[in-house]
Amino acid sequence: MPKRKMEKSKALTQLLYGQFFQQLPFNVAIIDRDYNIIEANDNFTRYFGDWHNRKCFSVYKKQDKPCSVCTQKEIFEDGRTRVVDTVVADKDSRWAHHVIQSAPLRLTPGGPVDYILEITSVVTDTNQWQQEYNVLFDRVPCYITVIDEEYRIVRANESFRERFGDVLGQYCYKVYKRRDKQCPRCPAARTFKDSKIHQSEQSGIGKDGKKIDYAVMTSPLVRGEERVAHVIEISTDVTQIKKLEKEVLEAERLAAVGQTVAGLAHSIKNILMGLEGGKYMISLGLKKDDRSMIDRGSDMLDRNFDKTTTLVKDFLSFSKGRLPQLKMTDPNALVEEIVDLYKDIAGVSNIELKARLKPKISPAPLDPDAIHTCLTNLVSNAIDACLMGQQKGSEVVISTRDEKGKLVFEVSDNGSGMDYEIKKKIFTTFFTTKGGGGTGLGLLTTRKLVQEHGGKIVVESQKGKGSRFRMEFPRKRLEMLYRESE
Amino acid sequence: MTDPAEKNILVVDDEEDVRDFLKLALIEAGFTVRTASDGLEALEEVKKRVPDLISLDLVMPKKSGAKFHRELTRNKAWAKIPIIIVTGHARDDLGRADLRELTMSGPGIYLEKPIKPDRYVAAVKQVLGLETSAEEKDLADQVELQSELKNLIDDADPDTLRQLKDMLKKKK
Distance from CA of A425 to the nearest CA of B (A): 7
* 8 A C-beta contact, residue A391 and residue A383: no
Residues of chain A with CATH 3.30.450.20: 22-122, 128-237
Assign domain A323-486 one CATH number from 3.30.1460.30, 3.30.565.10, 1.25.40.20, 3.30.559.10: 3.30.565.10
Output the pLDDT for position A441: 65
Assign domain A128-237 one CATH number from 3.90.230.10, 3.40.50.11030, 1.10.3720.10, 3.30.450.20: 3.30.450.20
Domains of chain B are: 4-171 (3.40.50.2300)
Distance from CA of A283 to the nearest CA of B (A): 12
Which residues in chain B have their CB less than 8 angstroms from residue A266's CB?
88-89, 92, 94
Q: pLDDT averaged over chain B? A: 80
Contact check, Cβ <8 Å, B17/A278 = yes
Task: Determine contact: A50 vs chain B, CB below 8 A.
Answer: no
Better-scored residue on pLDDT, B95 or A111: A111
Average pLDDT over residues B85-95: 66
* 8 A C-beta contact, residue B55 and residue B12: yes
Task: Determine contact: B18 vs chain A, CB below 8 A.
Answer: yes
Contact check, Cβ <8 Å, A273/B25 = no
Q: Considering only alpha carbons, which residue of chain A is nearest residue B17? A: A274
Output the pLDDT for position A268: 82
Residues of chain A with CATH 1.10.287: 241-320
Distance from CA of B78 to the nearest CA of A (A): 22
CA angle A376/A378/A382 to nearest 5° reads: 115
Q: H-type helices in A289-409, by residue range?
A: 291-319, 331-348, 368-389
Of B59, B63, B113, the CB nearest to A273: B113
Alpha carbon separation from A109 to A33, A101, A105, A122, B28 (Å, rounded): 18, 21, 9, 31, 124
Output the pLDDT for position B104: 54
Determine the Cα–Cα distance for residues B85 and A300; give it in Å rounded to an integer. 23
Determine the Cα–Cα distance for residues A223 and A231; give it in Å rounded to an integer. 11
Q: H-type helices in chain B, by residue range?
A: 16-28, 39-48, 65-74, 76-79, 93-105, 117-128, 134-155, 158-171
Chain center to CA of A178 = 20
Output the pLDDT for position A435: 45
Which residues in chain B have their CB less than 8 angstroms from residue A425's CB?
59, 61, 64, 94
The backbone torsions φ and ψ at residue A131, rounded to the nearest 5 degrees and listed phi first, read: -65, -45
Distance from CA of B129 to the nearest CA of A (A): 25
* DSSP structure class, residue A79: -
Residue burial A214-253, b: 16+ Cβ < 10 Å; e: rest:
bbbbbbbbeeeeeebbbbbbbbebbeeebeebeeebeeeb
Task: Determine contact: B37 vs chain A, CB below 8 A.
Answer: no
Of A266, A276, A424, the CB nearest to B21: A276
Q: Beta strand pairing status for A211-221 and A230-237?
A: antiparallel
Determine the Cα–Cα distance for residues A264 and A246; give it in Å rounded to an integer. 27
Which residues in chain A have their CB less than 8 angstroms from residue B98's CB?
none
Contact check, Cβ <8 Å, B17/A273 = yes
Give me the residues of chain A with pLDDT under 50, please.
Answer: 126, 435-439
Distance from CA of A280 to the nearest CA of B (A): 7
Average pLDDT over residues B14-41: 90
Q: Considering only alpha carbons, which residue of chain A is nearest residue B38? A: A433
Task: Determine contact: A433 vs chain B, CB below 8 A.
Answer: yes
* DSSP structure class, residue A435: G
* 8 A C-beta contact, residue A403 and residue A389: no
Task: Determine contact: A294 vs chain B, CB below 8 A.
Answer: no
Task: Determine contact: A278 vs chain B, CB below 8 A.
Answer: yes
Task: Determine contact: A438 vs chain B, CB below 8 A.
Answer: no
Contact check, Cβ <8 Å, B113/A270 = yes
Which residues in chain B have their CB less than 8 angstroms from residue A432's CB?
61
pLDDT band of residue B92 (cuts 50, 70, 90) is: low
Count of pairs with CB atoms under 8 A, one residue in A, one in B: 74
Output the pLDDT for position A437: 42
Determine the Cα–Cα distance for residues A13 and A6; give it in Å rounded to an integer. 10
Respond yes or no on whether ipTM tops 0.85: no
Q: Which long-range contacts (CB under 8 A, 24 or more apart) does A203-208 make?
A: A203/A177, A204/A164, A204/A176, A204/A177, A205/A176, A205/A177, A205/A178, A206/A163, A206/A164, A207/A163, A207/A164, A207/A165
Residues of chain A with CATH 3.30.565.10: 323-486
CATH architecture of the domain A241-320 equals Orthogonal Bundle (1.10)
Per-residue pLDDT at B167 exceeds 50: yes
Instruction: Domain A22-122: give its CATH code.
Output: 3.30.450.20
Torsion of CA B34, B39, B41, B42, to 10 degrees: 30
Better-scored residue on pLDDT, B128 or B103: B128
Output the pLDDT for position B71: 85
Task: Determine contact: B117 vs chain A, CB below 8 A.
Answer: yes
User: Percent of chain B having pLDDT more than 90?
Assistant: 19
Q: How many CB atoms lie within 10 A of CB A207?
A: 13
CA angle B104/B106/B107 to nearest 5° reads: 110
Which residue in B18, B63, B94, B115 has the most chain A C-beta atoms within 10 A of its own C-beta, making it the best mutation to test that interface? B94
Average pLDDT over residues B1-6: 69
Of B61, B64, B88, the CB nearest to A266: B88
Of A275, A300, A422, the CB nearest to B61: A422
CA nearest to A175, candidates A95, A71, A58: A95
